[in-house]
Amino acid sequence: MVLSAAGISPAFADEPTDENFCDWYSAFSVAIAHKAITQNPDCLDFGRGLHENKDMHFSWCMRNTKETVTGAGRHIADLAEQCSAPSNPRPAQNNPDAFAAKVAAGGQTWMVERLIPGVCYAELIDNSKQEYFGRMIRFEFSDGQYRLVSDFSRADGMHNVLVDGRGFRTHFEQVSDAVTATVGQDFIAAVKRGSRLNLNFEPDGPGYSLSGSAAALDMMLDCASGRQAAARQTATQPAPPPASPPTREPSVIQGSCRLIVDGMTYIDRRGDCPIWMENDGSGRLWINTNRVNDMPDYFAELSPDGNGFASGHWNGEPGATHAQGWLGDDFQLGKGGCWSNSRATICAAR
């Protein structure tokens, strides 16, 4: 087996992994990530697998098939190449070239964000669905092409995707823990006009409301072409908030932290808990991790919205490396640095 910056070779059938294979895969992933992060520190992205924690790569590998892991390796190599290229650096959060905005309509919110210059996406998180069973749906635009992405794992192959009952034959490919497909302008036009999307992976969907999709897709195209979406301000499409002036780089302190979800305490550390802080004025923080090489069984993220409320996520199960478990966007600050809603409490204090 060969490690290469272009990806992993050869491809495998749907076989279980083993320790030797995962040792090799984790070493490959760390080597690729190290090179990219050295060239551009903003390449570091735990949520997309671009990091140097070998244990995390190994643990994830052992839970998946060789075919899935091979695809993930190619994906990591592609991400590393994109974000570390001198002409296409991945923007830092407070980089003036960064872009993020929301489109709220029909009781749901689309997030529009720039990955790198010329590459933007519009994403909807449907919390009525389970993670990896259609909770996330995303449209991406780059190099003049649209792509449709879903976290519905193992749904690769040909599917008749429905927009208001009209079928579009669409071929999906497995990439890491998601499926992705190139879609045409006719499909995008139908989505912008439509009211209901059904990926048709199973008899009951997954299906999604298309409220706000037209505004989100227009904003995504503006983002990719470099036009700021402020020109499209409407009631359902607010302008991006003004960027806060950069202050300091993120830092990690040792403090006290606690995580309670559905009445069960998952984290309770006093004085020795790593707390990662954004330090950009947003108040965003992660507890029980330094987001570099310390990712224990459980960790959580809290993001204040600037209106008295905050949203929270956690990784949901021991060893899971992504903080994609939705805890709500109605957290309020109480005593002792604790933010709480009806489901969970996230505490962080020096």
- Ordered by start, the domain boundaries in the chain are 19-83, 99-232, 251-349
Q: What is the average pLDDT score of the chain?
A: 80
Q: For the segment 235-270, what is each residue's pLDDT rounded down to a tens digit? A: 344 545 554 444 467 888 999 999 999 999 999 999
Of 216-225, 296-305, 320-329, least confident by mean pLDDT is 320-329
Rounded to whole angstroms, the Cα distance separating 188 from 133 reads 22
Q: Retrieve residue 308's tokens.
A: 């008295």
Q: What beta strand segments (E) does 278-309 contain? A: 285-287, 300-304
pLDDT at residue 13 greater than cutoff 70: no
Give me the mean pLDDT over the 330-342 stretch: 90
The tens digit of pLDDT for each residue in 74-120 reads: 778 877 887 777 544 444 444 545 678 888 888 889 999 887 777 88
Strand, helix or coil for residue 224: helix
CB atoms < 10 A from the CB of 145, how many?
11
Question: Hey, what are 300's tokens?
Answer: 């959580």
pLDDT value at position 12? 47
Reading the block at residue 50, the tokens are 């671009």
Q: Which residues are 148's β-sheet partners?
A: 139, 181
Superfamily of domain 99-232: Invasion associated locus B (IalB) protein (2.60.40.1880)
Region 272-284 average pLDDT? 85
Tokens of 111: 């997030």
- Cα dist. 185→125, 145, 146, 175, 212 in Å? 23, 9, 8, 23, 18
Q: What are the pLDDT digits (tens) for 32-58?
A: 888 888 888 878 776 667 778 887 778
296 to 57, 68, 219, 302, 320: CA distances (angstroms): 13, 24, 37, 17, 9
State pLDDT tens for residues 121-149: 899 999 888 878 899 999 998 878 899 99
Q: Which residues of 65-88 are buried (b: 16+ CB within 10 A; e: fewer)?
A: bbbbbbbbbbbbbebbbbbbeeeb
Task: Say what the pLDDT of residue 232 is.
Answer: 40
Tokens representing residue 26 in the block: 């984790």
User: Which residues make beta-bridge pairs with 55?
Assistant: none
What pLDDT is stored for residue 248 in this prediction? 62
State residue 3's pLDDT score: 34
Q: pLDDT, tens digit, for every residue of 174-187?
A: 876 788 899 999 99
Show Cβ contacts of residue 305 under 8 Å, excluding neighbours closer than 6 positions: 311, 329
Cβ pair 141, 224 in contact under 8 A: yes
Q: Is 118 exposed, middle or buried (0-12, 13-18, 19+ CB in 10 A)?
A: middle
Summarize pLDDT for 16-33 with one digit per residue, the tens.
888 888 888 888 888 888
